């Protein structure tokens, strides 16, 4: 059952509109990541300017993550209840708005409010773009194309570092955020030509017809795309956690993603800190290493997208998770300058590249009626895991020392996430149409 597709789409040919979606999704996620990472990169300068102590900076960062999580989890269901396109535009508009407001903050409270809204809306950009892209891309290229789109995160990190190096020494950290507004506005203009995905439009119409008591019309409409009429009118979160077809999968992916992202603060937020303070590298050298590692991460996302398209997103995620976890162990045990550089530029892109397959796996294993909510749930879960990982990082580091911390809090969670999905994750043929996977 399903709508008859145009000949070029049935053959797997990528249309001009699909390439357009690819471009605006990649640019949008790059700009959202750019804004997010401008804050983390320039936090030492922001803290000095606003007279924030290390304790205050840590608490503030946790509050920002918590607030952003609330924004993401609160707005996520709107993608399924009201459509994808509008939320996609609003998310980037508010990201630009509050990125601009960042230059005006004068104290910790103002900074916290502005960054909660900026980070929250920049992160809702991610599940919205993820949902639209996966619903528009042809099945034979879905994993490969979205792997590169997801690469917008390390690409945005790379741009944030480059802009900071070019602008901050001359003009200060506030001007870097001002620069960040311009490309976001360009992407907003491009999105004028984005259309609501056909799958989403059908699902929205079906939900509306059922609420009006027009079941027969709804049954006729789902001949175009499969929709479970017994579930579609339920609130999306309820579907995720009570639908017999989804609840086990939701629990498994939630646990796997939480473990993987629990390692993120140690492996990414505090990487420059440990390179300087525990590996005794100059600050500028740490930045240069991270520039290389971040660019390799971008390539890794794209490569893993192709790998997932070959062996399935489940096994692609499991494979790169195991490689990444082992690489972190070597980083933890490294000694000397060369060992540190080599292991950093291996573990950093390897752990990041989980995202090149994982997010397509999440999007394709949920039906259209709950896909946007599921993508947002997982995105908010990132921030939630980061709150936990950030909160315990300092205590674990002081108690166990560098090497054991990066094994226990870095390598082990990454390996656990990979093992859980390998052992319990739902298998999906890499070229299956979305309606053949879950509906």
Q: Could you say which residues of the chain have pLDDT below 50?
A: 1-10
pLDDT digit string (tens) for 285-332? 887 888 889 889 889 999 999 999 999 999 999 999 999 999 999 999
Residue 1 is predicted with a pLDDT of: 35
Angle 117-123-124 from CA coordinates, rounded to 5°: 90
How far apart, in whole angstroms, are the C-alpha atoms of residue 77 and residue 31? 23
Residue 2 is predicted with a pLDDT of: 39
> Is the Cβ–Cβ distance between 206 and 343 less than 8 Å?
no
Residue 54 is predicted with a pLDDT of: 66
Residue 254 is predicted with a pLDDT of: 97
Q: What is the DSSP letter of 103?
A: G
How far apart, in whole angstroms, are the C-alpha atoms of residue 113 and residue 262? 24
Residue 12 is predicted with a pLDDT of: 64
Residue 5 is predicted with a pLDDT of: 46
214 to 29, 204, 218, 220, 234: CA distances (angstroms): 39, 14, 6, 10, 16
How far apart, in whole angstroms, are the C-alpha atoms of residue 22 and residue 150? 10
How far apart, in whole angstroms, are the C-alpha atoms of residue 136 and residue 194? 11
Nearest to 354 by CA among 154, 98, 71: 154
Q: Cβ–Cβ contacts within 10 Å for residue 58, how many? A: 17
Nearest to 26 by CA among 302, 268, 291: 302
Return the exposure string of 355-380: e unless at least 16 CB atoms fall within 10 Å of the residue's CB, then b. bbbbbbbbbbbbbbbbbbbbbbbbbb
């Amino acid at each position: 059952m399903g709508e008859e597709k145009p000949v070029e789409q049935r053959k797997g040919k990528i249309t001009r509109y699909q390439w357009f979606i690819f471009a605006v999704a990649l640019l949008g996620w790059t700009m959202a990541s750019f804004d997010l990472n401008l804050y983390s990169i320039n936090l030492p300068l922001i803290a000095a300017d606003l007279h924030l102590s290390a304790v205050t900076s840590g608490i503030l960062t946790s509050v920002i993550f918590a607030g952003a999580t609330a924004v993401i989890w609160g707005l996520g269901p709107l993608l399924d209840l009201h459509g994808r396109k509008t939320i996609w535009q609003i998310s980037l508009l508010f990201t630009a708005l509050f990125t601009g407001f960042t230059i005006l903050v004068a104290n910790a409270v103002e900074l916290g409010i502005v960054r909660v809204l900026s980070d929250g809306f920049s992160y809702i950009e991610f599940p919205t773009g993820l949902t639209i892209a996966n619903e528009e891309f042809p099945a034979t290229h879905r994993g490969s194309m979205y792997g590169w789109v997801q690469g917008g995160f390390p690409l945005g990190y790379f741009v944030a570092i480059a802009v900071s190096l070019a602008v901050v020494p001359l003009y200060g950290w506030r001007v870097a955020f001002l620069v960040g507004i311009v490309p976001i506005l360009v992407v907003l203009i491009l999105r004028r030509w984005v259309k609501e995905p056909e799958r989403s439009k059908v699902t929205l119409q079906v939900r509306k017809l059922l609420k009006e008591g027009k079941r027969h019309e709804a049954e006729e409409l789902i001949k175009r795309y499969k929709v479970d009429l017994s579930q579609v009118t339920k609130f999306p979160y309820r579907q995720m956690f009570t639908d017999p077809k989804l609840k086990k999968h939701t629990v498994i992916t939630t646990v796997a993603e939480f473990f993987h992202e629990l390692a993120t603060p140690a492996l990414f937020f505090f990487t420059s800190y440990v390179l300087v303070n525990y590996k005794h590298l100059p600050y500028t050298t740490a930045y240069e290493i991270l520039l290389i590692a971040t660019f390799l991460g971008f390539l890794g996302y794209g490569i893993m997208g192709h790998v997932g398209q070959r062996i399935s997103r489940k096994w692609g995620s499991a494979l790169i998770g195991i490689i990444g976890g082992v690489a972190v162990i070597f980083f933890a045990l490294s000694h000397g300058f060369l060992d540190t550089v080599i292991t950093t530029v291996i573990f950093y892109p390897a752990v990041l590249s989980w995202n090149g397959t994982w997010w397509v796996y999440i999007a394709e294993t949920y039906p259209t009626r709950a896909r946007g909510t599921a993508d947002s749930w997982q995105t908010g879960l990132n921030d939630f895991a980061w709150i936990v990982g950030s909160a315990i990082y300092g205590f674990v580091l002081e108690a166990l020392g560098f090497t054991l911390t990066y094994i226990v809090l870095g390598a082990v969670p990454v390996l656990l996430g990979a093992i859980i999905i390998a052992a319990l994750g739902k298998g999906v043929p890499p070229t299956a149409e979305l309606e053949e996977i879950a509906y």
